[in-house]
Every structure is written in C-alpha cells, then in structure tokens.
C-alpha cells in the first residue's frame, strides 16, 4: 500500500461513502468547465472536479518531475502520461496532499477553491487521450469458449493457440467515443439464415461488450519489447470499454482475418482513467494458466484485479436501467502485463495514449456473461426485462451502461459510468 491509498485518508470535501471517487482514487479526465471553454485536465473527487490547470498556474504543482510544467492546460493527457512513473507518482502524491482534511492550502483558501473546484454535474467531459492505436484482446477464456461454441460449434470452442498466447486484433482508434455519445446502428453485409449469399443493411444483431482498457503511459522504442516485469512502468491507468459489436456482420466477415466492420463503427470509453496506483490494494491472483506460458509471458505475484463489473440495459419504455450482467475482472485468463509483453514481443512500439482492451469479460454463468451473444445464445433465449419486453440483441433507443467498482473493507472506488444509446 502506498500513502495515497491509505484507508485512513479523508478529504476536506464531503465525499459520500458510495461515491466512485474517494480520495484514494483520484482518477484523471479531460473536461470543459463551460461548453465554450478550452479543455483541460482534472481529477475527480466526490462530486467535484479538481482543475489541475489552475493548480499548475498557481504553482501548486511545481514539481521537478513535470520537467517545466504546462502539461495540464492541454486538451489531452498524452504529454503527462509520457513522463512516466516518477511524474505520475509525484502529481498523485501532491494532489492527495492538497485534498486532505488536515491540509489548509486548498481547504482554507476560498478564492482558490472557487477557481480550482467545480461540480462534475456542470462540466462537459471528453476523451482523455489522443488515441493513436487501439488493440482489442480476447483475454477471457469463458468468453472465447462461448463465442467459439456459438459461432463454430461445440467441437471448435477454442482456437488451438488460445492457451499459448493472448489473441488480439488492431481496432479502429478514430471511432472511439466518450461516454454519452449516441451510437448509430451500423450497416454492412451479413447472411440471413437459410440464404446462400449475403444481404446488405442495418445490423440485426447489435451487441455490447463489457471490457476494461489499459491506457499506455510511457511508450517503448521500436524494436525493444516490454517485459512483463516492466509492465508497471508503461501502465498509466484503466477505464471501462464498451466495444460495440454487430454479430451478424462479424460472423460473415471474421474468417480468416478476424473482426473488421462488425466492430470498428464505435467503441465507448468511460470518462475517468483510474491510475494503476489506485488499484494496487485490489490486486489478486488470476486463473491458473495451463500449460504454463512461455518464458516471455511469465509473471511473478498477483497480476489480476478484483474489479466488480456490471452491465445495465434500459429500453425507451423503462424508467430505470436493469442490470443484466455481473462479473469480475479477476476472471481474465491473460493479465494486462502479459498483454503488454505479447503486444511488444516482436518489437512493436506502443505510444502514450494507446489503448489496450481486455476483450469481453465473462464469468462462468449466464448472469455473468459480458455480451448478449452469450446471454441469449445468439437470440435463441431472449432476455426478459422487467418492462415485459424481450431482447435478443439491442434495439434502437436502448441505453447500455457499464459500471466497475472495487470494494474494500474500508472504502470503495469506481470508474464512473460508460454509457451509450442506440440510434437508427
């Protein structure tokens, strides 16, 4: 445990016990205080946003690790993330100190508080990074088995190499959108049941995918892999990811090169990046890997995180969302250090702000499946909702909300919501 995750810490701000953003969290985001204002970096604390650009301008973040400063008045976090762990830890420690209930610097300066703190409800949140590249993995064993059985049959559940290496594909960074952005139903080719050839039109099998993504901080040089033991030096923080999927388009196109138009139309991410340091108290053991991975994928100590994940679905007729999935990130077969190591094992260079997503996270039972494809057996067992409606896949007007929380004996922290509504 580091000092910033000490359960005894309290903020001078009134933070509700059920808040996603206690002083032990301090996630980073990019926001506009007013719609016309330029974006800048901030930290979420309770119901407020702490404006890091204001603190920087007032000299309260005058830290040698920031190499001259000026990183928080920018519209993205890339430059800050590129500075690496010394800068991340120094800023986190200083912000934590300023927010403590026994430190008067911010607490007793009403003028500074008025400038540096604003309500999250009044701010406009945006993308945290200029995301140059996005890679989506297939790291949940149960999800891979379920999809293989549904798409290829019970004798071909897993690709033969699944337990040997983390399978992934390069997604489309340009269509990553902030939480709250409307998702247009994609059009594409798919083959209807009983037909020999394809048709073209709006997808009939629009789905969500419950995922967690890692934002790369400091990158690596071309030709120099990242070892699993060095993964923490490159892991800036984590966010929720909904990698929307058109299953009918996906099945028609994915052999032999994998997903393309069935997935690249939109990916939604939550607005706050939870620092890797904030998740350390929730580190845990992941599944036993059998056979043991090759040397470059081996790790020491716990590499998974106990993050409770859920998906809620709200139709146009429903007043409140209904939870349709509960699972846990600890179910991932492949850990994030292994994803980093494998991605760079051939010398591939990652850059600050690159996004590596886990792929759909699914547990062992239908209530823990992270997609409708699995939950409804590709529509064969429609989901019955409290409104009396049924869903095999998503309909226009449906809203999907992802949540993630870490629950400890002394405090909880969360990621905020990852929300998207389906349009025609």
Which of the residues are catalytic? Answer: 143
| Residue (of 267, 206, 264) closest to 396 by Cα position | 206
Residue that is written with structure tokens 């409290």 in the block: 386
| Residue (of 276, 278, 273) closest to 129 by Cα position | 273
Give the count of beta carbons closer than 10 Å to the beta carbon of residue 257: 8
Coil/strand/helix, residue 283: strand
Strand 199-202 and strand 187-190: the pairing is antiparallel
Residue that is written with structure tokens 């620092």 in the block: 275
- DSSP code for 193: T
Dihedrals phi, psi of 399, to nearest 5 degrees: -115, 135
Long-range contacts of 315-318 (CB under 8 A, 24+ apart): 315/385, 315/387, 315/389, 315/391, 315/395, 315/397, 315/398, 315/399, 316/397, 316/398, 317/387, 317/389, 318/385, 318/386, 318/387
Contact 326, 105 (CB under 8 A): no
């Amino acid at each position: 445990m580091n000092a910033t995750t000490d359960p005894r810490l309290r903020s001078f701000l009134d933070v509700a016990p059920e808040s996603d953003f206690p002083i032990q969290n301090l996630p980073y985001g990019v926001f506009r205080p007013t719609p016309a204002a330029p974006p800048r970096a901030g930290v979420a604390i309770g119901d407020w946003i702490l404006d890091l650009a204001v603190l920087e301008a007032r000299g309260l973040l005058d830290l040698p690790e920031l190499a001259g400063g000026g990183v928080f008045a920018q519209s993205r976090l890339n430059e800050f993330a590129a500075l690496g762990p010394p800068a991340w830890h120094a800023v986190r420690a200083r912000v934590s100190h300023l927010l403590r209930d026994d430190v008067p610097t911010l607490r007793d300066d009403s003028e500074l508080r008025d400038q540096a703190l604003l309500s999250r409800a009044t701010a406009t949140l945006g993308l945290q990074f200029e995301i140059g590249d996005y890679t989506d993995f297939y790291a949940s064993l149960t999800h891979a088995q379920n999809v293989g059985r549904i798409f290829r049959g019970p004798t071909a559940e897993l690709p033969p190499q699944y337990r040997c290496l983390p399978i992934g594909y390069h997604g489309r960074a340009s269509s990553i959108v902030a939480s709250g952005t409307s998702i247009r139903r994609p059009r594409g080719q798919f083959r209807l049941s009983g037909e020999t050839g394809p048709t073209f039109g709006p997808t009939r099998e629009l789905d969500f995918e419950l995922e967690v993504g890692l934002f790369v901080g400091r990158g690596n040089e071309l030709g120099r892999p990242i070892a699993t033991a060095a993964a923490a030096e490159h892991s800036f923080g984590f966010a929720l990811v909904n990698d929307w999927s058109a299953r009918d388009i996906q099945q028609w196109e994915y052999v032999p090169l994998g997903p393309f138009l069935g997935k690249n139309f939109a990916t939604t991410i939550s607005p706050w990046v939870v620092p890797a340091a904030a998740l350390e108290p929730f580190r845990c053991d992941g599944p036993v890997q059998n056979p043991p991975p090759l040397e470059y994928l081996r790790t020491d100590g716990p590499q998974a995180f106990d993050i409770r994940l859920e998906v809620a679905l709200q139709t146009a007729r429903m007043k409140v969302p209904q939870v349709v999935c509960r699972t846990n990130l600890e179910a991932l077969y492949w850990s994030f250090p292994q994803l980093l190591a494998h991605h760079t094992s051939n010398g591939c260079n990652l850059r600050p702000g690159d996004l590596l997503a886990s792929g759909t996270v699914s547990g062992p039972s239908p209530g823990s499946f992270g997609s409708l494809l699995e939950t409804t057996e590709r529509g064969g067992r429609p989901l019955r909702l409290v409104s009396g409606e049924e869903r095999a896949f998503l309909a226009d007007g449906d809203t999907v909300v992802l949540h993630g929380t870490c629950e400890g004996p002394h405090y909880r922290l969360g990621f905020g919501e990852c929300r998207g509504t389906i349009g025609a």
